[in-house]
Structure 1
């Protein structure tokens, strides 16, 4: 159970909840499949799938949850073709032009008729609450997907005081400084071979580099023109590798061989035990990474965070 991405939210005031209380809150929004006339629906599902009916899997004070979203897929070209056919039939039969508003009404009717037979696309999104660390971590490749889960969790709980973490200086400034050597590279950080450079001007371009020495002259030349580093591949403390972006999003997260070896020591025939062990190892590793990474990026801005009730 390794996260492939990590979008971090910081609790802005003290927040604590037991696994039992969280389970009770989530029960009100358990996932139910789309009805015949619904295009989308989402709800909470057991993180362990068939191995448990519980909506919360808790280990060492970390509470894992999973959100499932179902969307009905209606092929755009098929819908458009049916709408045009019906509009044409009306024009021939009634001898008049079908206007945009009426076409929109026809489209809505066509979609309602097609929904019961439409294919469904299902997506799961995992997250865990770490009250003792003051963070919510979402396995999401985009900030929108992470925000959607946080919003739905807020609905279920009634209150969720979180926001993305802020640092004292812009991440792009720090990334750029690491590459042009104007900012010291922390001992825990090793540069990878991938980055994205952006021209900060309004119509500026984007350069994506992969498989290169990021401190080579060709990269330095781009930096000398004023381009800034907005994404950067790094290895953290020889145990985690990922691509970090200027929103502090962690993507393509890979855990090192040491963690995998520890997981291999767990009974391979007990899927639930392996899941629990992987979750425990992952959360402990991310509990080291998150504060260390914020410190490496210039320190966290905690001006909007209340540390005590």
Structure 2
């Protein structure tokens, strides 16, 4: 169980929930397959797939959940062809032109006819709640996908006081400073060999660099011309590599050999035990990475966060 991405949400006020309470809440919205006339449906499933029944997998105070979304696949060209055939038949029989509004109605009719025979596309999205760290972490490649899962979780729980972290300074300012060396690179962070630069002007261009020394003269020339760094490949503590974007989206996560070796030390042929060990190792590493990155990026604005009162 290794996340490929990490979209972070910050709890804006103290939040705590037991695995049992979370299980109860999610059970009411457990996944059920699409009905014959439904195009999409989503719900909660076991994070362990066929190796588990519970909707919540907890370890060390971290609660892992999985949202499954089913979508019926209806090929656009096939629908269009069938609509045209029906429209031509009406025109031939009734000697009149079929207008757009009627074609739209025919399209709905065709889709309803096709839905029971349509293929299904299923996708699982994972996230874990870390109340003690004050974060929700979603394995999603885009901000929208992450927000969709957070919205589903909010709906099931009734309340979920989270928002993306608010940084004291723009990530692109920090990234650019690291590359032009106007800001010191923190000791725990190493530059990778990939970045994206954008011209901030309205019609500005984009330069994507891969497999390059990011201190190279070519990149420095772009920076001197006023371009800003919006994505940057980094390695954290020699153990986790990723690409960080200007939305504080951690993408293409790769956990290093040290963690993989620790997982191999787990002497078990039990898939659930292996899953649990990987999840525990990952959450432990991310519990260090996320606050470390927030600090390295110039700090977090916590003015809107209600701290727990003793």
TM-score normalised by structure 2 residue count: 0.98
Match of 1:160 in 2: 160
Match of 1:293 in 2: 293
The gaps in structure 1 that reach 5 residues or longer are: none
Cα displacement (A) at 1:60: 0.6
1:50 & 1:11 partners in 2: Cα distance? 31
Match of 2:231 in 1: 231
What SS does the aligned partner of 2:129 have?
strand
The gaps in structure 2 that reach 5 residues or longer are: none
1:151 & 1:14 partners in 2: Cα distance? 19
Match of 2:131 in 1: 131
Judge conservation of contact 1:69–1:123 (CA < 8 Å) in 2. yes
What SS does the aligned partner of 1:123 have?
strand
Cα displacement (A) at 1:267: 2.2
Match of 1:213 in 2: 213
1:107 & 1:50 partners in 2: Cα distance? 38
What SS does the aligned partner of 1:96 have?
coil
Tell me the C-alpha RMSD between the 2 structures: 0.8
Cα displacement (A) at 1:201: 1.3
Q: How does 1:262-277 map to 2 (within 5 A)?
A: 262-277=262-277
Structure 1, residues 1-44: CA drift from partner, whole Å, max 9, x if none? 10000000000000000000000000000000000000000000
- When structure 1 is superposed on structure 2, of 76-85 and 7-16 the one drifting more is 76-85
What SS does the aligned partner of 1:14 have?
coil
Match of 1:28 in 2: 28
- When structure 1 is superposed on structure 2, of 238-247 and 85-94 the one drifting more is 85-94
Match of 1:101 in 2: 101
Judge conservation of contact 1:8–1:135 (CA < 8 Å) in 2. yes
Match of 1:65 in 2: 65
Structure 1, residues 222-259: CA drift from partner, whole Å, max 9, x if none? 11111111111000110100000000001100001000
List 4+ stretches of structure 1 deviating above 4 A: none
TM-score normalised by structure 1 residue count: 0.99
Structure 1, residues 154-195: CA drift from partner, whole Å, max 9, x if none? 000000000001110000110011111111111111000011
Q: How does 1:1-309 map to 2 (within 5 A)?
A: 1-308=1-308
Count, aligned residues: 309
